[in-house]
Amino acid sequence: MEVLTAVDPGRIGDLRARGEFFWLDLHEPPDEELARAGGALGLHPLALEDSREFNQRPKLDRYPQGILFVYWSARITPNRLAVEPVETHLHISGEFLATVRRGICKDLDDLHEEVAKLDPEHEDFVVYLVLDALTDALFPVVDNLEDRIDSLEGAVLTAVDHNQIGQVYRLKQEVQAIHRRLLPQRDNFPAQVHAIMELPGLEHGKREYLRDVGDHMVQVSGELQRQIDDLTTLTSTYFNANANRLNRLLTRLTVMGTFFLVWTLVTSFFGQNFGWLVRHINSFTAFALYQGLALLVPTIVVAIYFWRRRSEWL
């Protein structure tokens, strides 16, 4: 099967004249090349306009020549610290499959060689392979998000830091951005598959492979929803852990303050001019003995009390 990565009107015309199914994969084409592709493939002007303006919602539009299927996937950034949505426009007819995409999608690039080895009669199987590659690209994204959530959760439980709550919210926004696009895509996929299978001239194999794509999409969207729930729980965990940290700090300060209160009481008592104190504490030895015992005894009593209650407070 022929796989084209650039618009060649002559070659496209020959393939269409022979009735041979082919795949045209365009990565960030300029408007001039997209216009040439539209002319060579006979794309509807509205379908062509949608492929000029990305950030479309997941949808399937029917046209007399075929359909436009806007399909969302995602990829991990090179530094593996974030994920980015990947939008792909699939123009499907009984004669060809044309994909227009922005952003890197290595899974589709790797698919070129496999599709080139297929028999041209495996038309619906080519559509399945492209959709399956875009869907399977989401699994590493889910794993990456899961690793980052686990790492952040461990950090929160080990040592609370004020920067962590910002990381939780940013990570939650990433997950929600992917899930928000995949949810309508998952819900509408059965009807969209039915529209693809009804395309005139699109030959079908013995197995409806596209159902497998729908199953994968349900699995991915379920994992993303679980991660959103985990991040919501992690937010509560952060505030609880931070409150516990503050409680431990206040407990330690309270213990220290109690000792200083006892010491202040004792020293202030000996600073008063009682007659007995003046007559009997007339040397440094006497002062050290009386003052030391007066400080040591209550200190030991308070220390024993706190030690016995340490499991409740610290």
Contact 35, 48 (CB under 8 A): yes
Quote the tokens at residue 141. 């994204």
pLDDT per residue, tens digit, the chain (314 aa), is 889 989 998 999 999 898 889 999 999 899 999 999 999 999 999 999 999 988 889 999 999 889 999 999 999 988 878 888 899 999 999 899 999 998 778 888 889 988 888 876 778 889 999 999 999 999 999 999 999 999 999 988 888 888 888 999 999 999 999 999 999 999 999 888 888 888 888 777 645 678 889 899 999 999 999 999 999 999 988 888 888 778 778 878 888 888 888 888 777 766 666 666 666 666 667 667 777 777 788 888 888 888 887 776 65
Which residues contact residue 198 at a Cβ distance below 8 angstroms, ignoring those fewer than 6 apart? none
Round to whole Å and give the CA distance between 65 and 94.
Answer: 9
Round to whole Å and give the CA distance between 230 and 158.
Answer: 17
User: Among residues 308, 97, 294, 292, which one has the least CA distance to residue 203?
Assistant: 97
Model pTM?
0.77
Which ranges of 76-117 does DSSP label H, i.e. alpha helix?
A: 106-116
What's the CATH number of domain 2-243, 3.10.580.10, 2.60.40.10, 3.50.50.60, 3.30.460.20?
3.30.460.20
206-218 burial code (b ≥16 CB/10 A, e <16) = eeebbeebbebbe
What residue ranges do the domains of the chain occupy? Answer: 2-243, 246-313
Round to whole Å and give the CA distance between 277 and 265.
Answer: 16
